[in-house]
Structures are given as structure tokens and as C-alpha cells.
């Protein structure tokens, strides 16, 4: 979900279990958009060019679909993750891999997790199960994220400021 001209705004929380969070999402009026399913995200770079700028290029496969996402450098904020983001659906992920390779990009990191997506109005919630724990991401306007925290049983102490890439790399 993008806000204010292709800007991603989200907050990620470490949670004790997916099941408790599913129940809370339902109780708060969130509806499932995609059932829990495996996700494979591969980061691509060209000689560290994107990473040096704080950016990323990701080809994601999830729920029978694929998407290519560019993310720009993160805007400093103690709790929210705010960064420019452009994303488009990809009809043929193998062809996209070939295009990226022809442009000089190569895969530099792969992440696998399980994810479900929920929505209530303009607010999106993702429940993620990773090798290093469970997380709930809320994406939308900052006010909507903060308003949803209490009813979902989320506190600032649960906020995970690190990216999934960083968490996966720390696990390795």
C-alpha cells in the first residue's frame, strides 16, 4: 500500500504467535485478503550500487503472483519505516530475472517466509512467520497505524526497527 506519492509507511511488531494476532485482527474488523502462504523474495543489485544508496530492488513471489519493487533510502523515524517505493506486478518472473541480469543486476540475497495479508479500509496488516520469529506489519497512514495498535494489543516496545534483510542476515 502506497501513500503520498509512492511512499511506504509501516510499523513492524514482534508478536508471540500468529494465531492470537489473527483473532485480534478479526475482532478489529480486518478481513483476510491472502491466506497464509509461502513467500520468496530475492534482492537484486549491481555491484552494490543500490545498497550504497540505501535502496533495494526486490523480486517477490507470493500467492501465485510476482512483483518487482524498488525501495529508496529510509527516512529517519524512531518507530515508523518510511521510504519511497515503486512496485509493479510481474507476469513472468523468469523473464524479469533475465531482464535484470541483462541490465547488469544479479541476485544478492534470498529470503523465505510465510505471510498472510489482511485489510481494514486503507490499513493493511501482514502476518509473517520467519525462521527468527513472528511479526505483524501495519502499513498505512501513521495515524491509522497508531490508532490500530491498542485494539490489536500492540505496544511500542514490540516495534522491530530492523528490516527483514537485516534480521535474515543476523540469523545466518
Q: Where are the domains of the chain?
A: 7-171
Query: Which is nearest to 12 in space by CA: 144, 158, 170, 113?
Result: 158
pLDDT of residue 29: 98
- Residue 4, CB-side half-sphere exposure with 13 Å CA sphere: 10
- List, for residues 112-148, the tens digit of each pLDDT value: 999 999 999 999 999 999 999 999 999 999 999 999 9
pLDDT digits (tens, 9 = 90+) for 2-20: 445 699 999 999 999 999 9
Whole-prediction pTM: 0.90
What is the CATH number that goes with domain 7-171? 2.40.320.10
Beta bridge partners of residue 89, listed in sequence order: 67
- What mean pLDDT comes out for the span 154-170? 93
Q: pLDDT of 30-88, one tens digit each?
A: 999 999 999 999 999 999 999 999 999 999 999 899 999 999 999 999 999 999 999 99
What does the pLDDT look like over 89-108, one tens digit per residue? 999 999 999 999 999 999 99
- What does the pLDDT read at residue 1? 45
Residue 119 host element (H or E): strand 106-120
Predicted pLDDT at 172: 67
CB atoms within 10 A of CB 23: 12
Q: What is the pLDDT of residue 2?
A: 46
Using an 8 Å Cβ cutoff, are 80 and 11 in contact? yes
Predicted pLDDT of residue 171: 81
Query: What is the total residue count of the chain?
Result: 172
Where does 7-72 show beta strands of DSSP type E?
7-15, 31-45, 56-62, 65-71
Amino acid at each position: 500500500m502506497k501513500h503520498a506519492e509512492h511512499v511506504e509507511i509501516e510499523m513492524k511488531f514482534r508478536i508471540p504467535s500468529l494465531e492470537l494476532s489473527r483473532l485480534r485482527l478479526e475482532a478489529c474488523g480486518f478481513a483476510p485478503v491472502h491466506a497464509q502462504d509461502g513467500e520468496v523474495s530475492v534482492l537484486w543489485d549491481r555491484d552494490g550500487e543500490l545498497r550504497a544508496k540505501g535502496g533495494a530492488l526486490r523480486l517477490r513471489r507470493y500467492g501465485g503472483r510476482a512483483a518487482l519493487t524498488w525501495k529508496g533510502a529510509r527516512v529517519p523515524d524512531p518507530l515508523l519505516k518510511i521510504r519511497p517505493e515503486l512496485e509493479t506486478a510481474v507476469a513472468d518472473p523468469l523473464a524479469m530475472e533475465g531482464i535484470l541480469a541483462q541490465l547488469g543486476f544479479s541476485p544478492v540475497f534470498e529470503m523465505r517466509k510465510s505471510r498472510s495479508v489482511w485489510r481494514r479500509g486503507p490499513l493493511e496488516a501482514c502476518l509473517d512467520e520467519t525462521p527468527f520469529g513472528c511479526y505483524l506489519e501495519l502499513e498505512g497512514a501513521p495515524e491509522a497505524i497508531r490508532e490500530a495498535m491498542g485494539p490489536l494489543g500492540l505496544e511500542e516496545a514490540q516495534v522491530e526497527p530492523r528490516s527483514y534483510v537485516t534480521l535474515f542476515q543476523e540469523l545466518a
